Amino acid sequence: MTDIFNGRLLLMTGIGLVVALSSKVANADDAANCAPIFNTERVRLHASEKVDLCALTAGKPVLLVNTASHCGFTPQFKELEALHQRYGSEGLVVLGMPSDDFFQESDDQAETAEVCYKNFGVTFTMLAPAHVKGPEADSIFEAVGKQSAFPSWNFNKYLISPQGQVLHHWGSRENPLSDDITERVRKALNVESSG
């Protein structure tokens, strides 16, 4: 009986070791495919949970957007979600970062979360608020700003390659479902035009 117990214990230990090693290999693969700009963690909006941006974005193009809950462009959350629904399964990562740099974001993350999740049904990744310009800019937006331009208002959109290069930057007025954005997203994903 002891031999059977020891055999099962050895088998379970071996399985645990294989799972742990597989996880380390997967994490190493993510890090190898991760753009330096996203080789970091951030806290999710209105949560204590951290998002491993490297694992989220490894090998994928990213549409990065600086958002605000009390802006005339806030309804763009609906189009950003539609873009996420349409191209997320193809590999596009839509990533939102709220900011009060233009004085149109709530001081209360619960209110920001309600606008995003309840009012507009956002399911793409939203991060905790941060600065997107100036000397205190989040490192992601600092890198983006140096490559392209810092946001001049809310809802600037940056299409970033899997290697971390800004492929294109659009201002606030560009609808996330515009022909230009969808065509460039398809090109970044190597997806044929739907019509």
Q: Which residues are catalytic?
A: 71
**CA nearest to 149, candidates 165, 133, 172, 126:** 133
The token duo for 12 is: 């379970």
CA distance 110 to 53: 22
Sheet holding 157-160, edge to edge: 125-126, 93-98, 62-67, 157-160, 166-170
CA distance 125 to 158: 15
Is the Cβ–Cβ distance between 168 and 159 less than 8 Å? yes
Coil, helix or strand for 127? strand
Sign of the dihedral through C-alpha 119, 125, 130, 133? negative
